[in-house]
Amino acid sequence: MRLSERVRRISMSSTGAVFAAAAQLKAQGVDVVDLSAGEPDFPTPSHVKRAAFEAIQDDFTRYTPTDGIPQLKQAIVQRHARDCRSDYSTREVLVTVGGKHAIFNLTSALLQPGDEVVIPVPYWVTFKEAVHYAGAACRFVPTSESENFRVTADRIEAAVSPRTRLILLNSPNNPSGAIIREEEMRKIAELARRRDLLVLTDECYCHFNYEGSTPFSLASLGEAYREHVAVVGSVSKTYAMTGWRVGFCLGPAPLIGAMLKIQSHCTSNANSIAQKAAVAALGGPQDSIQDMLREYALRRSFIVEALNSINGISCNWPDGAFYVYPNLRGLLDARRVESTADLALQLLQEARVAVVPGEGFGTRDHIRISYATSMEQLEKGADRLARFLGKG
Ligand SMILES: Cc1ncc(COP(=O)(O)O)c(C=O)c1O
């Protein structure tokens, strides 16, 4: 069948592909330790689930306004103002079917062929594909592993050309965990203002920060930068709600309006019941976030140390999120394995551990391991990795 040139420009998500391969093995009864999934292993908080039960009982089961129920838009704006010192109005928010959908709406609304988007490496797999789907091109910005993959404004500026429309940031970063320094963020915002660009800042992991500081958001910079900043967020990771599919975009009203136009012909509103649940998540008690963060911090220490004890692996301490992004160059050379994709396949088929190869995130020497899984699974996974890779 002849498919569109547009869809042939993109490929399946590499994280999704590993997830599917691991799921298939598990369905056959194989005991796979899955360290590939980018989702909290915690349950959705009870008060959030209760709000969903109530929504069903109250027959809150019809279409809602395409941009989301007013109560949820209000809750998003208030939560962001409180946590990130922004001052958006409800005209500047769109409720989407997960954060991914917000990114797709935004790239579709903003970009056209000939445009360029600046993206630091490593990057979350979907960024590149969303840009390509919109017909634009990516300008990748290298980061340095010795600086824990934190991008700097100078490096971003070096990649900006007359064709640049968008700078796409994600801090804390998936897959490296890097948190961009506040002073660099400020310089990037200044660059965007000077060159009349938009910065899309993906804040899906902003509450998972091991440095103890409150998350810095470009949206806190005030009126002068308002036209140049859009925020993507989601309840998926923050409240262990990946399956509920609720995300959002905060940004300039004309951009939000354009995204709404696309959404009105695509998904319409996010699920009505999930929207009620999201109101409870954003407006209710927030202690589940700290509970998860405390647990992630323990797992992070365990996995970083376990990986660094394997010959040929070096693993940085991630600043945030719930991934580690170890460098396996020494191992690849010693075992004469071509790529981390080949190694990941061996790990799945022989060691029964699912990890995501770095190629999809834009680097050749790394794999991504998620520690959003139980300590028991992590210990088992680390043990299998050490046995298999230790064989040399
Ligand atoms: C950096 C980043 N942004 C956005 C998302 C989207 O999450 P969701 O669509 O579940 O809100 C993810 C999910 O893995 C992510 O890692």
In terms of DSSP bridges, do strands 198-202 and 164-170 run parallel, antiparallel, or are they unpaired? Answer: parallel
Question: CB of 184 closer than 6 A to ligand 1?
Answer: no
Question: CB of 247 closer than 6 A to ligand 1?
Answer: yes
Same domain? For 91 and 11 the reply is no
Q: Are the C-beta atoms of 106 and 259 separated by less than 8 Å?
A: yes
Same domain? For 189 and 54 the reply is yes
Q: Which residues span the domain enclosing 74?
A: 46-283
Ligand 1 atom nearest the C-alpha of 103 is 4
Sequential DSSP letters for 135-172: T-EEEEE---GGGTT---HHHHHHH--TTEEEEEEESS
Question: CB of 242 closer than 6 A to ligand 1?
Answer: yes
CA of 241 to the centre of ligand 1 (A): 11
Q: What is the pLDDT of residue 294?
A: 96
> Which of 273, 291, 286 minimizes the C-alpha distance to 49?
273
Ligand 1 atom nearest the C-alpha of 242 is 10
Q: Which of 283, 307, 337 is the last residue of a domain?
A: 283
Same domain? For 74 and 213 the reply is yes
CA of 265 to the centre of ligand 1 (A): 22
Same domain? For 89 and 188 the reply is yes
Same domain? For 154 and 250 the reply is yes
Q: What is the pLDDT of residue 110?
A: 98
Q: How far apart are CA 386 and CA 68, in angstroms?
A: 48
Same domain? For 251 and 144 the reply is yes
Q: What is the pLDDT of residue 391?
A: 57
Question: CB of 236 closer than 6 A to ligand 1?
Answer: yes
Same domain? For 207 and 184 the reply is yes
Question: CB of 152 closer than 6 A to ligand 1?
Answer: no
What CATH number is attached to the domain comprising 218? 3.40.640.10
Same domain? For 200 and 301 the reply is no
Token match 């400020």: residue? Answer: 186
Question: CB of 98 closer than 6 A to ligand 1?
Answer: yes
Question: CB of 234 closer than 6 A to ligand 1?
Answer: yes
Helices (H), the chain: 5-8, 14-27, 46-57, 70-84, 99-110, 125-133, 153-159, 182-194, 253-264, 272-283, 287-308, 329-335, 340-346, 375-390
Q: How far apart are CA 81 and CA 181, in angstroms?
A: 20
CA of 99 to the centre of ligand 1 (A): 5
Q: Which of 240, 258, 283 is the last residue of a domain?
A: 283
Same domain? For 165 and 208 the reply is yes
Task: Give the closest residue (by CA) to ligand 1 atom 7.
Answer: 99
Q: Are the C-beta atoms of 336 and 375 separated by less than 8 Å?
A: no
Q: What is the pLDDT of residue 13?
A: 73
Question: CB of 202 closer than 6 A to ligand 1?
Answer: yes
Q: How far apart are CA 201 and CA 220, in angstroms?
A: 12
Overall domain count for the chain: 2
Q: Which of 251, 283, 315 is the last residue of a domain?
A: 283
Same domain? For 273 and 384 the reply is no
CA of 319 to the centre of ligand 1 (A): 18
Q: Are the C-beta atoms of 31 and 377 separated by less than 8 Å?
A: no
CA of 100 to the centre of ligand 1 (A): 6
What CATH number is attached to the domain comprising 28? 3.90.1150.10
Same domain? For 325 and 221 the reply is no
Q: Digits of tens for pLDDT over the chain (392 positions)? A: 999 999 999 987 766 777 788 888 989 999 999 999 889 999 999 999 999 999 999 999 999 999 999 999 999 999 999 999 999 999 999 999 999 999 999 999 999 999 999 999 999 999 999 999 999 999 999 999 999 999 999 999 999 999 999 999 999 999 999 999 999 999 999 999 999 999 999 999 999 999 887 778 999 999 999 999 999 999 999 999 999 999 999 999 999 999 999 999 999 999 999 999 999 999 999 999 999 999 999 999 999 999 999 999 999 999 999 999 999 999 898 888 888 988 998 999 899 999 999 999 999 999 999 999 999 999 999 999 999 988 54
Q: How far apart are CA 322 and CA 208, in angstroms?
A: 7
CA of 86 to the centre of ligand 1 (A): 21
Q: What is the pLDDT of residue 335?
A: 87
Q: Are the C-beta atoms of 285 and 47 separated by less than 8 Å?
A: yes
Same domain? For 37 and 52 the reply is no
Among 14, 234, 246, the mutation site with the greatest number of ligand 1 atoms within 8 A of its Cβ is 234
